[in-house]
Chain A
Amino acid sequence: MKKLLYMICIAVLSVANCKEKEKSDDTTNFGLLAIAASLSSGITEIPFQIVAGSDTAPKCNKLIQGHSGSVMDTKHISESMNFYIKDARFYVHDVKLVKADGSTVDFTLTSDNKWQTSKVALLDFEDKTGDCTGTTETNTSIKGTAPAGSYVGVQFKVGVPFDLNHLNSTTADAPLNNSGMFWAWASGYIFMKFDWAAKEGAGTSNSFHLGSVGCNGSGTSVLTTSCTYPNRPTITIKTSGSVTWNPTANPVYFDIKALVSGTNSNLSSSGKAYTCMAGNNGGMSGTTAADCKILLNNVGVNETDGTSASVQSTFYLKP
């Protein structure tokens, strides 16, 4: 399609050139400039790719290996912790492109009535095979518009914006009408849902569900007015050395091994089951606040107040 448009453009140019050379004035140039800009470097898609350390194609029903001895990943998890993905979905919003000088330009989401509205997008890496029970469809990129420019990276917030998070979502539009991503007990959305199963020994079923907690509705209002722990991390990732970033060549990596780095859910190797539902103030079913802190920190949340931490290790740009 792009090629076709390009050819038409050339044709138009040629014709223009042939006909009235001396009348090839500013107006024509502006028009051509506009066509050229819309064709070339405006950014319309930011792909995301799930990876597990050096494994660039992890998926449901595939064993994700801990360190096997020969593979030395930079993201360290327990040597023996092998696991299967059970769920891997998250929302993003407030997407911006980052320039070398640190300034940002909005990447405006376009609604498709399925995976994104103009304000929030759902990325879905689970396909309902194996231990995964969500939806067969997946979504691994976000679509929108941003002007052409020289960018070195991307910034986004994980989660659903506050003003959309606590509505009575009975009438919400896609992707906010996904029952698997609504957190009924907290009356808000699960910002990130990463569940995994370890099969060694008796096996463990593990959950990391990020979402706002400590929320209060006030008076007769159905709406929540504030949450003590927003848990909506801002992720800023850039190319190394201020190299111009090309999103389609260097997608955003979502590294699940980095996300669970520091945990051990292998029961036959002194591990435990992790149940971290937000987790700022202690987990459930025997999981402690310290256990959940590891996961919160890995995804860039300061566990003490639910604000965005200065560092995160889960997301990076494909080198």
Chain B
Amino acid sequence: MKLYKALLLLGILSFANACVPDFLDLKKSKNDNNLLLLALALSQGSGWVWNLPPGFPTPTVPSENPMSQAKVDLGRFLFYDKKLSANESMSCSSCHFQNLAFSDGKATPSGITSEAHPRNAQHLSNAAYHPRLTWSNSLLKTLEQQARVPMFSLAPPELGLANEDYLGKLKSDSNYRKLFSAAFGNGDSAVTEQNVRFALASFQRTMISGYSPFDKANNGNRSAMSASATRGASVFNGEVAECFHCHGGFNFTDTTLHTKQTSEEFAYHNNGTHNNAFYDALPLNKQGLKEVTLVNSDQGKFRAPSLRNVGVTFPYMHDGSIMCDDSTNPGHPTGVASGATLETCARNALGKVIDQYTAGGAGTPKHTSIDTTLIRPFSLQPSEKADLINFLLALTDSEFLTDSKFSNPFP
């Protein structure tokens, strides 16, 4: 029915466009068209308003889970609730801290059994735009699907939900009865595994970060970014460093999907962080995309992460192997190293990342699956390296790190 209406409207629009007499005010008719399109969009959605940063495209949303404020509100509680782990010791927020753009400052986190996860906890800024989730799983295409991994994964367990006991806990909580009813309809029947995931996905889709100094400069306020950072942008986008090939676009990654794209874009790269011998010695779940596809040439391939808020998402790389020299990580929740700040650690660690790329990857010989057209030695002047670091630090959106919309709702 909706499709029929949409087609009808489109038909009318086309007809209108084709038959606008020359003497009509073209501007006016365009505005009318826009109004019509707006009405169409509203009739198809739930009236959700994104409030996107300037220039940001609208995220795609799976048709089975349209956005609503009630789902977002519910998702925020669930994200921070330890009832979502088998022994009530952890929640999603246990490995995703808002002040670190929802990364956790550790090389690799551990779930409720203390068994280390094979990969680094990713930041969640702008996850709504990723058509492939996690570091290296080409099968996980929506946040709704991805939520199952931390909830039910067994190797290793993260939240360790082996059965549906957690739903019973949610049902017996009067706050959740209200929240689930508002989001999904009345009654205990709304408290389902699917709806938990749908609410978590809806909340995460609102985690949009686009007010960094870079964004401000990009939107006309040139003084928002330092001269050094502005020069760094040229290094980033230049044909020497070529960072932009994998970290391009508004979200600084080549894996994106939004409503203005006609097809999804995703890629996995071997950036030369480790060589063949290193990966060969690791269990399969630490070998990148190969774990999922079982194709040898996919060894060491990972999705290029968005560099949004990269200044607070160290340790870097899929295994968190690049960290600042001050190993008492200042971003670690258990303590702040004396004298160190997030920025000094980020500067130091980002410098190491740049050094790895200028060397054309780490280790000798290089990995056979390395992306040789992009990962090859090049040289940067020390001043260019400093400029590049300043540019990367200008991607930190401090509003995102402190916005109360994303904070822990529990008292």
A residues touching B (Cβ–Cβ < 8 Å)? 128, 133-135, 168, 170-171, 177, 179-180, 182, 184-187, 207, 209, 213-217, 219-220, 222, 224, 228-229, 275, 277, 280-287
Whether B263 sits at the interface, judged by CB under 8 Å, is yes
Interface pair A170/B64, CB less than 8 Å apart: yes
Q: Is B161 an interface residue (CB 8 A)?
A: yes
Closest A residue by C-beta to B166: A179
Selected A-B contacts with CB under 8 Å, 13 pairs? A133-B163, A134-B162, A168-B145, A171-B194, A180-B152, A186-B139, A209-B154, A213-B294, A214-B292, A214-B293, A215-B292, A281-B284, A281-B294
Q: Which residue of A lies closest to B144 (CB)?
A: A170
Q: Is the CB of B163 within 8 A of A135?
A: yes
Contact A180 B293 (CB under 8 A): no
The one of B139, B140, B193, B284 that contacts A179, using a Cβ cutoff of 8 Å: B193
4 shortest interchain CB distances as A-B pairs: A184-B148, A214-B294, A187-B139, A133-B162
Interface residues in B242-260 (C-beta closer than 8 Å to A): none
Decide if B222 is an interface residue (CB 8 Å cutoff): no
CB contacts (< 8 Å) of B138 on chain A: these are: 216-217
* Interface residue ranges, B against A (CB under 8 Å): 64, 86, 137-142, 144-146, 148-149, 151-156, 161-164, 193-194, 197-198, 263-264, 283-285, 292-295
With A186-B139, A222-B141, A277-B155 known as contacts, the answer to whether A283 contacts B148 (CB < 8 A) is: no
Bound complex: CA A215 to CA B294 (Å): 8
B264 touches A220 (CB 8 A): yes
Give the docked Cα–Cα distance between A286 and B164 (Å).
30
Structural contact, B163 and A284, CB atoms closer than 8 A: no
Q: Besides the contacts A184-B148, A187-B140, what 17 more A-B pairs have beta carbons closer than 8 Å?
A: A133-B163, A170-B144, A170-B194, A179-B148, A184-B145, A184-B151, A185-B137, A185-B149, A213-B294, A215-B292, A216-B138, A217-B141, A219-B263, A220-B263, A283-B284, A285-B155, A285-B283
Query: B64 touching A180 by the CB < 8 A rule?
Result: no
- Whether A180 lies near B163 (C-beta < 8 A) is yes
Cα–Cα distance between A275 and B154 once the two chains are bound (Å)? 10
Known contacts: A216-B138, A220-B263, A283-B283. The answer to whether A134 contacts B294 by CB under 8 A is no
The answer on a CB contact under 8 Å between A179 and B155 is no
**Interfacial chain B residues near A168, Cβ < 8 Å:** 142, 145
**Chain B residues, CB < 8 A from A282:** 283-284
